[in-house]
């Protein structure tokens, strides 16, 4: 069912989107302020994907760049809408709605900013089901909708259109080159698709999930109950049904470098008890990619590895990691449509150069059950066969 989002929802949404950013995705705080400024006392219509007319024309919008740059280089505000308009002009067709390509981090907010500026509704879903560092890492692409043509806009009104046909990795490569030359941040419109495509290829209801997560954490704090239980309870009703505490400790070391337009690095977390030999380590490329506990893999992309404050459950981005922070690390299972062979090829461990194989954070048995359930819904192309195989 469609619903209305107002400025009062934005803080909760930002909190939930930061959690789904799994360390990256860019801090939604600046995006939230931009939306508030334009939205005022108005509201944005959020469309449930199941309600979409098959011929609805959807143009997703987003920001791209290194999160470390995004927090220093504030957008002028018009760029994402300019990207949308540029793609509309190029395609000769007006969008009926926009949508996130990424529900984690700042890209939860960019389509809302476009909606507030244009009056367009926003589809409740996205193509990453979290945050990923590259434009080709989309369930859209995995299930047959390609990113090209992509429109990219800069803060001085620069407009770029990139068309690499079905080659979404080459599209990412060229768009990244432009983004670097724009100073590290660009705004984009891409993966234009029909309502039927959305239903087939998008991870559904990730805006409402982010909002529910952020709200549950806040309400638990206000009620002096456990925000971690609130997270688990909220997720249990979604496609992200399993959450597990992977570690509790203190941030002991953070290495970060901005290379090739990405924030890459690693964080070491040691136990609160200094006499313990335990060691927990997270490697990231914008987002957290893999977590090792005493050398063993305990969670790996595309599952979510989320670092949060050990008491309040406030999510902490990789650029927010500081020496001495007391944190909990949560592992959250991703939906079955993000774990098919085709999906893992697009954004699984090997897509990031990792040699470790994917292993579901909730264990093989629970994962197999979820895959069967997913197959039964027939969402995704040719996935039913794969899950039953």
Q: Does 258 bind a second copy (CB under 8 A)?
A: no
Q: In angstroms, how far is CA 37 from the centroid of its own chain?
A: 23
Which residues, at least 6 apart from 76, have a Cβ–Cβ distance to it below 8 Å?
A: 155
What residues have CB less than 8 Å from 374, skipping those under 6 apart? 335, 336, 337, 380, 383, 387
Among 131-139, 174-182, 336-344, 345-353, the segment contacting a second copy (CB under 8 A)? 174-182
How many CB atoms neighbour CB 329 within 10 A? 25
Residue 35 has a CB neighbour count (10 Å cut-off) of 27
Q: Binding residue for a second copy (CB under 8 A) from 4, 181, 257, 388?
A: 181
Kindly indicate which of the ranges 60-68, 131-139, 171-179, 286-294 contains the residues binding a second copy, using the contact rule CB under 8 A.
171-179
Nearer to a second copy, 157 or 357 (CB): 157
- Contact window for a second copy (CB under 8 A) among 54-62, 158-166, 246-254, 310-318: 158-166
Q: Select from 377, 339, 366 the least CA-distant residue to 130.
A: 339
Of 71-130, which residues contact a second copy (CB under 8 A)? 90
> Per rule CB under 8 A, is residue 173 in the interface with a second copy?
yes
Size of the site for a second copy (CB under 8 A): 21
Smallest distance from the beta carbon of 168 to a second copy, in angstroms? 12
Minimum CB–partner distance for residue 155 and a second copy (Å): 11
Residue 7 beta carbon to a second copy: minimum distance, rounded to whole angstroms: 34
User: What span, in angstroms and rounded, lies between the C-alpha atoms of 193 and 59?
Assistant: 7
Tokens of residue 31, six digits: 């995006």
Nearer to a second copy among residue 59 and residue 162 (C-beta): 162
Using a 10 angstrom Cβ sphere, with 0-12 exposed, 13-18 middle and 19 or more buried, the burial of residue 364 is exposed
Peptide bond into 149 cis (omega under 30): yes
**Which x/- pattern over 218-257 shows residues binding a second copy (rule: CB under 8 A)?**
----------------------------------------
Indicate which single residue of 40, 42, 157, 363 sits in contact with a second copy (rule: CB under 8 A).
157
* Among positions 159, 169, 244, 266, the unique one binding a second copy when judged by CB under 8 A: 159
Q: In Å, how far are 108, 215, 232, 258 from 103, measured between CA atoms?
A: 5, 16, 19, 23
Q: Evaluate whether 345 touches 311 at the Cβ level (below 8 Å).
A: no
Least distance to a second copy, CB of residue 93, Å = 15
**DSSP H or E segment with residue 300:** strand 296-300
Which chain residues interact with a second copy by CB under 8 A? 90, 156-165, 167, 170, 173-174, 176-178, 180-182
């Amino acid at each position: 069912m469609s619903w209305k989002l107002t400025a009062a929802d934005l803080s909760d949404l930002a909190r939930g989107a930061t959690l789904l950013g799994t360390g990256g995705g860019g801090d939604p705080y600046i995006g939230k302020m931009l939306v508030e400024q334009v939205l005022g006392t108005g509201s944005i219509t959020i469309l449930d994907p199941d309600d979409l007319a098959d011929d609805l024309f959807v143009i997703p919008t987003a920001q791209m760049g290194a999160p470390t740059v995004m927090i220093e280089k504030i957008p002028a505000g018009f760029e994402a809408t300019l990207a949308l308009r540029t793609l509309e002009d190029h395609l000769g067709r007006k969008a009926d709605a926009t949508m996130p390509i990424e529900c984690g981090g700042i890209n939860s907010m960019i389509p809302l900013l476009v909606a507030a500026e244009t009056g367009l509704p926003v589809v409740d879903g996205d193509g990453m089901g979290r945050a990923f560092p590259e434009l080709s890492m989309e369930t859209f692409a995995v299930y047959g909708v390609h990113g090209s043509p992509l429109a990219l806009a800069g803060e001085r009104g620069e407009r770029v259109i990139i068309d690499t046909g079905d080659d979404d990795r080459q599209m990412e490569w060229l768009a990244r080159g432009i983004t670097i030359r724009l100073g590290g941040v660009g705004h984009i419109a891409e993966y234009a698709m029909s309502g039927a495509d959305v239903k087939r290829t998008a991870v559904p209801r990730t805006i409402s999930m982010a909002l529910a997560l952020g709200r549950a954490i806040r309400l638990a704090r206000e009620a002096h109950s456990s925000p971690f239980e609130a997270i688990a309870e909220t997720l249990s009703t979604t496609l992200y049904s399993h959450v597990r505490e992977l570690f509790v400790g203190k941030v002991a070391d953070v290495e970060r470098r901005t290379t090739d337009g990405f924030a890459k690095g690693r964080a070491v977390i040691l136990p609160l008890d200094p006499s313990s030999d335990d060691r927990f380590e997270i490697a990231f490329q914008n987002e957290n990619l893999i977590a090792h506990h005493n050398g063993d893999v305990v969670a790996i992309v595309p599952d979510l590895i989320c670092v949060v404050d050990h008491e309040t459950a406030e999510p902490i981005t990789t650029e927010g990691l500081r020496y001495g922070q007391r944190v909990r690390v949560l592992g959250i299972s991703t939906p079955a449509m993000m774990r098919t062979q085709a999906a893992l090829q697009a954004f699984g461990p090997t897509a990031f150069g990792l040699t470790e194989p994917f292993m579901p954070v909730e264990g093989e048995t629970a994962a197999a059950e979820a895959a069967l359930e997913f197959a039964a819904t027939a969402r995704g192309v040719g996935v039913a066969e794969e899950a039953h195989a």
